[in-house]
Chains A and B, each alone.
Chain A
Amino acid sequence: MIKYLRTIDEQCVGCMTCAAVCSRLYAKEENPAKARLLVNDLGANSFHLVACDQECRRCVAECPTQAITVAKSGVVMIDKKLCVGCLACVAVCPIGAMRYYPGEKHPFKCVACGACAKACPKQALEIATKDEGEKA
C-alpha cells in the first residue's frame, strides 16, 4: 500500500491555507515557496494542486547518494544527512512535486503527513492509499 496526498482540483478555491500550514510546519515560516505542495493558479478561479504521488519514484532511482528512499508506508522520503543537494531529483520529477528553495541545501517534497488536508476548508485534499501500480 502507498499512502499519498490525494488532490481534488475541482474543490480548490486557491485560499492557500494548505501552503501556509505546510510551510509553517516544515519551514517554520509562512511562505508558499517553501510549502511541500504547490497551488497553481490557472486563472478563472481554477486551480491545480501538485503533490508527490509517491509512486513514480524517479527521484529514488536518480539520487546518487541513496538519500531518497521509500518508507514502509510507501511514502518517498529524503534523508537530509545523506543528501548532497545536487537537485537531480528536482530535474527528473515529471510533475514538479520535488521542490527546492534557492540557497537552501536540500530539496523537499510532500510526505503525506495530512496537515494540509486537515486544514483545507474545501476538502480539496485528503490522505488516501493505493496499491502499487494503481493509478490514483
Chain B
Amino acid sequence: MKRILYIFGVIGVLALLQWGLTAVLLDGPVRQGPYYYQILVLAGINIILAVSLNLTNGIAGQFSIGHAGFFAVGAYVAASVSYYGGSAIRAAVSFIPPMGQDAVVLLIALAAAALATALAGLIVGIPSLRLRGDYLAIVTLGFGEIIRVLILNIDAVGGARGFSGIPKLSNFFWVYLMAVATVVTVWNLVRSTYGRAFLAIRENEIAAQAMGIDVTRHKVLAFVIGSMFAGMAGCLFGHYTMYLHTNSFTFVKSFEIIIMIAIGGLGSIEGAVLGAVLLTVLPEAFRGFDSYRMIIYSLALILIMIYRPQGILGQKSLFGKKRRKSATIDAGPTGAKSVAAETGVAGKQ
C-alpha cells in the first residue's frame, strides 16, 4: 500500500515539476529557459543511459562498449511505432482526451523499444557472455556498428537522410519518471539476491561459480536489463528531438556513457547519475571558451581521473550504510524507501 502511495507521490511531484518548468522555462520569464530545459531533458536521458550501463559494467563487471547500439535500436523501434502506428493507436483509444492518447502512444512505443532492445541484448549476450574476458567488449562494439550501418540502409526509417517527422511525445516528466524508475530498479536489484550474485561475479567469477551461482545466467540478466533501459532512453530521446540520425549513435556515444560512469565512480548508482549530469552540463557550460571548448572539457575529464581515479564517488554510496541495513534487516519495503530517497522526502518512519 505504502509502495503505491510512493509511486503516486513520485508521479505527482514530477507532473508538478513538469507543469512548473513549462510555465517558468518554456512559456515564462526566463529568457534562456528553453535552452536550460533542453539540457535538463538531455541530462535525464543520459542518467538513464549511465545508470543502465552501470548495471552491466560497474555492478556485474562485464565490459560492454556498445550501449549506443541499444540506444539506437530503442530510438528507431519506438519512433517507427509512433510514426507508422501512431494514428491507429489513437483511433483505438479515441475515447480518451488527446493528452491521454499521447501517453498511450508513448507507452506502447516504450514497451516496443524495451522488448526489442531486451531481445537484442539477449541475442548479443548469450553467446558472448558465456566467455570470460574481453569478448563482450569486442562483440558489443561490433554490434553497435552493425546496428548503425543497418539503420543507414533501411529506407523506412530514413536511412542516411535521418528519421524526421517523429511526434513530440516525451518531455521532462516522462524522461525523469523513467530515470527514477531506472535508478529504483537498479538500486533494488543490487540489494536483492541477484545483485549479490552480480557483485560476486564482478569480484571473482570462479569463486562465484564455486558458490553455486549460475554465472552466465546472471551476466546475461544484468546485460539484458541494462540494454532494455538503454532502449527506453532511446524512445524518449527520439520523441523529444523529433529527428533521429545515426550520427548520434556512433561508438563515440558509447564511450561517452562509459566516461560518465567512470567519472562518477564505476559501480556507484549515484556516481552514474552525477557523471551523466556532469557530462551533459560541462560541454554546454564551457561554450564560453569558443574553439577551446572541447580542449577544456577533455582537460577537466583528465583532471578528475588524475585526482579521483576511482571516480568522484568511488564505489561509495551516498546513503550506503543506511540502505544496506534496511535491505538486510527488513526485507520489506526497500523499493518504497528508494523512491523516497530519490524524491528527497526520505521516510523518517
A-B complex is real:
no
Point out residues on B near A: beta carbons under 8 Å: none
